[in-house]
Structure 1
Amino acid sequence: MREDAVGSADVGVGPGSRADDGSCRVLRVLGELNFGGTEMRTAELLPRLAAAGTEVHFVTLSDRIGPGPLAEAAVRHGGSVIPIPLDARFPLRFLRLLRRLRPDVVHVDCANFSGVLLCLALLGRVPTRVAHFRGDDNQHRSLRRRAQRWVWRQLLRASATDILGVSPSALTCGYHRAWRDDPRCQVVLNGLDLDRLHRPTGHHLRALTGAGPDDLLCVSVGRASPEKRRWLLPPILAGLRDQGVDAHVVLIGPSDDNDEARVRAAAAEHGVADRVHLLGPRDDVGGLLRQADVVVHPSCLEGLPGGVLEPIALGIGTVAADLPGVRFIDEHLPGVTIVDTDAAPAVWAAAVASAAGHTMATDPDTAGRRFQSSPFAIEAAVETHLAIYRRRLPEGLPSVPVAKNRSRLPAASER
């Protein structure tokens, strides 16, 4: 299994290298390390966790992209990335890795399937076993899929020491509606690194798109998957045109041929093909976002959407579908215009034109300071992760306090 490893695990991390110096070793399990919200938020934690003596390694389950484009960040901060595809050999390979790596924590981001992986971690005698719910998973399933999910949930209940959700609704929809009765459950908000968003870019969106100085520049950030509904952006653009607003839309995020074909077909159908621009994945998202007049996030399935948090942190008006995670953000920070999930493109267009006014009226520095004092600041997320990771380390090792603003979450979530 080691021929695919990237980073320190490739050069023999194992029992002989385990230090009793107060450090903590974490094994994170994700589908892949691509440019998605979960992966980006996880990568942003790495330098701060490493500075606190926490070593983070990754297992990726995808057989599509290998270690993934964020593997370099993991290696740079002392970790490694080991792709182990989900096939018949997976259980044995995973248990062998646990024996070699000897992690203090296994932290899994695979919804209810986390139960399968945490049962393996229990067999591997890992003391802290964390399941992390990232989305409001309320999709319709067949009877077979519901039964399978029920089994996975029972395994999770039997094996997890900690059950986290990025928002109250992520735990309600993903784990169980009575999650508050389970003492292992807590809301751990995604922390957002403002430093990354303020890195400069050498690209100017108006020059890239050919937008005029008075054209409304709309940006949408998210991976190309059906639930993101990027194909709604061309009809929204056409709705703006019908309301007398000249606009362009820029789509940023990992690409998919089928999704892009659907977006381009919608753009041609509505006569806006020259005003829809697909930039694919970028590492200068913050620099591009700062040039937007408004952000549009039409996704119909989220947990705590970074595609809404990021522009709000920069003071950019954002239009998003009416989802629990979006409403949760709106409870804490201004700048979100919420639209019914099934609203017509003309309704979205009117909301976009209105939200642009928030951008014009908001000072970016004021928005940044407001965000840093909110529960979404990355420092709060780091403190909470460290507290969970170190809770079951041998006695006598230093502990890390839970972020103070976590205590405000239940009241805010129940308003």
Structure 2
Amino acid sequence: MTSGRTAASGAAGDGPERTGGGRCRVLRVLGELNFGGTEMRTAELLPRLAAAGTEVHFVTLSDRIGPGPLAEAAVRHGGSVTPIPLDVRFPLRLLRLLRRLRPDVVHVDCANFSGAVLCLALLGRVPTRVAHFRGDDNQHRNLRRRVQRSFWRTLLRASATDILGVSPSALTFGYSRAWREDRRCQVVLNGLDLERLHRPTGQHLRALTGAGPDELLCVSVGRASPEKRRWMLPPILAGLRDQGVDAHVVLVGPSDDSDEARVRAAAVEHGVADRVHLLGPRDDVGGLLRQADVVVHPSCLEGLPGGVLEPVALGIGTVAADLPGVRFIHEHLPGVTIVDTDAAPAVWAAAVRTAAGHTMATDPGTARERFQSSPFAIEAAVTTHLAIYRRRLPDGPPPTAPVVKNRSRLPAASER
């Protein structure tokens, strides 16, 4: 794939002038701008950062989808998207982009591999170099991968000015168990745009699924990847059936043929094929979640899971595996029923019934007020990002996040 920006900032030639007059230019590097938790949370920050005079450009590393379906949001708020696949030409291409764009900040969402990118940013004389850990990276690796990861971490320690984690466990398992001794480290919670979750949808889930008024309507939001364990949902439905509860489940998120085949095969095996509904990626997730009786999130690897935080913010009871990021949410907001990661489907089914009771007992207005005063509100995340981005600028950081009243929507999957 050839590299090319979807939109350009500044004139051609020697590149744009370095920011001044209170403005700040940021280059964010991530895998792709697809419908995932990291990408959606990043896109939700853009209008508020732009209102504060912060210009955000992107580099995507995937050679699979190019700029990605969220690229339009970046361009709309004054940025650009440059796909640079990870091949032998990557270092030179990135250095050329740095020379042309001249950012004040490079912010990388690539776990320990961020060290390799930030070393190039150091060579490019970028003053603020941020590594951001998004997940609890505690997977088993062979010797070669462990050596590789150690090398990248050494580069990160040598090049990063700031090391962030979406939760304490993201830094513990992703970066170092001794992260509290590193003054560059801090926890920066994912901010959640509650207004987005309250936008209407034209999709009526009970009509779509054929669920009766007395049947339990479960929703699960997450991309189709192995760690999300979406194949567990059919046996959980079967467990509910065995406990005398009729239910349907709706799966929302970017699709994958092999993952969907596994989900469908499990549905047939457990006799619930007519009760499992795969919707694919949507931009009206909040409207779908508000129709749920319960949300089920069986993922076994997370940092600060949006698939748990979003329904809890709406007052929807949520069942999730026992992970540090899940417990972190549970410590701050009610509504999470935690199940052992390896629990049997019958145990998950019993937890679903408990979580559905929370939904029935919770007033949505109360849930909204509770979330707005929590540390997960998006304004807190914007203020922290602005402080980090502007720390080394002559005029320093603004005191608070700006208020953005007219929030533009993120693009729908059909607008890729």
Short-chain TM bin: over 0.9
Matches within 5 A, 1:6-405: 6-9=6-9, 12=12, 15-394=15-394, 397-401=395-399
Q: Distance in 2 between matches of 1:246 and 1:16?
A: 60
Structure 1's unaligned 5+ residue stretches are 404-415
Q: Distance in 1 between matches of 2:237 and 2:278?
A: 14
Give the C-alpha shift of residue 16 in structure 1.
Answer: 3.8
CA separation of 1:30 and 1:149: change in aligned 2, threshold 3 A: same
Contact 1:8 1:78 in 2 (8 A): no
The TM-score, its normalising length taken from structure 1, stands at: 0.95
Contact 2:10 2:16 in 1 (8 A): no
Contact 1:50 1:77 in 2 (8 A): yes
| Counterpart amino acid of residue 207 in structure 1 | A
Give the C-alpha shift of residue 11 in structure 1.
Answer: 6.2
Give the C-alpha shift of residue 20 in structure 1.
Answer: 1.9
Q: Distance in 1 between matches of 2:255 and 2:130?
A: 30
- The CA deviation string for residues 237-296 of structure 1, in whole angstroms up to 9 with x for no partner, is 000000000000000000000000000000000000000000000010000000000000
Q: Distance in 1 between matches of 2:190 and 2:223?
A: 18
Q: Distance in 2 between matches of 1:326 and 1:187?
A: 15
Q: Distance in 2 between matches of 1:343 and 1:178?
A: 31
Contact 1:14 1:101 in 2 (8 A): no
Give the C-alpha shift of residue 148 in structure 1.
Answer: 0.4
- The CA deviation string for residues 62-88 of structure 1, in whole angstroms up to 9 with x for no partner, is 000000000000001000000000001
Contact 2:248 2:276 in 1 (8 A): yes
The alignment partner of 1:25 has SS state of strand
CA separation of 1:339 and 1:14: change in aligned 2, threshold 3 A: farther
Q: Distance in 2 between matches of 1:271 and 1:245?
A: 14
Contact 2:3 2:84 in 1 (8 A): no
The alignment partner of 1:112 has SS state of helix
The alignment partner of 1:7 has SS state of coil
CA separation of 1:12 and 1:320: change in aligned 2, threshold 3 A: farther
CA separation of 1:385 and 1:149: change in aligned 2, threshold 3 A: same
Greater relative contact order, per chain length (Cα 8 Å cut-off, separation 6+): 2
Contact 2:16 2:101 in 1 (8 A): no
Q: Distance in 2 between matches of 1:108 and 1:13?
A: 26
CA separation of 1:303 and 1:40: change in aligned 2, threshold 3 A: same
| Counterpart amino acid of residue 313 in structure 2 | A
- The CA deviation string for residues 302-324 of structure 1, in whole angstroms up to 9 with x for no partner, is 00000000000000000000000
Q: Distance in 1 between matches of 2:396 and 2:151?
A: 38
Task: Give the paired residue count.
Answer: 401
Structure 2's unaligned 5+ residue stretches are 402-416
Give the C-alpha shift of residue 17 in structure 1.
Answer: 4.2
Q: Which moved more, 1:4-13 or 1:230-239?
A: 4-13
- The CA deviation string for residues 362-403 of structure 1, in whole angstroms up to 9 with x for no partner, is 011110110010000000000000000000012xx1522479
Structure whose residues are more often helix by fraction: 1
Percent identical: 87
- The CA deviation string for residues 316-363 of structure 1, in whole angstroms up to 9 with x for no partner, is 000000000000000000000000000000000000011000000001
| Counterpart amino acid of residue 253 in structure 2 | G
The TM-score, its normalising length taken from structure 2, stands at: 0.94
Q: Distance in 2 between matches of 1:204 and 1:86?
A: 42
Partner of 2:407: none
The alignment partner of 1:103 has SS state of coil
- The CA deviation string for residues 33-68 of structure 1, in whole angstroms up to 9 with x for no partner, is 000000000000000000000000000000000000
The alignment partner of 1:4 has SS state of coil
CA separation of 1:165 and 1:270: change in aligned 2, threshold 3 A: same
Contact 2:106 2:128 in 1 (8 A): yes
The alignment partner of 1:26 has SS state of strand
